[in-house]
Amino acid sequence: DAGITQSPRYKITETGRQVTLMCHQTWSHSYMFWYRQDLGHGLRLIYYSAAADITDKGEVPDGYVVSRSKTENFPLTLESATRSQTSVYFCASGGPNTGELFFGEGSRLTVL
């Protein structure tokens, strides 16, 4: 089915471990985004990508790494997870210019 999917939906890990959150979209949207949602902060942009092999930092990029080798995939990696990275992570995709973004269902990450 067409859409945007995130995996895993729920993840518990320990401080210092590497974690990768996956995001896959079937619309061939050029733009993809990663946000984190914490109480009182709304959604904060971590990284975004305008096309394959083009990525850029958002508001809160520290501690995160992204890649985009294919248009449809945009994985987010926490190289050494910290408790402050406990959050709900949303992936989104959209076309160029100023149009709507389409969101995945979110991935809830807990770092112990």
Partner 1 sequence: AQKITQTQPGMFVQEKEAVTLDCTYDTSDQSYGLFWYKQPSSGEMIFLIYQGSYDEQNATEGRYSLNFQKARKSANLVISASQLGDSAMYFCAMRGFNDMRFGAGTRLTVKP
Q: Does residue 103 belong to the site contacting partner 1 (CB under 8 A)?
A: yes
For 29, 72, 84, the CA distances from 2, given in Å and listed in that order, are 12, 11, 33
Q: Write each residue from 40 to 69 as x if it is in contact with partner 1 (CB under 8 A), else as -, in one continuous string.
A: xxxxxx--x-x-----x-xx----------
Relative to beta strand 107-111, strand 10-13 is parallel
Q: Return the number of the residue (17 or 51) whose C-beta is nearest partner 1.
A: 51
Residues in contact with partner 1 by CB under 8 A are 31, 33, 35, 40-45, 48, 50, 56, 58-59, 88, 90, 92, 94, 97-103, 105-106
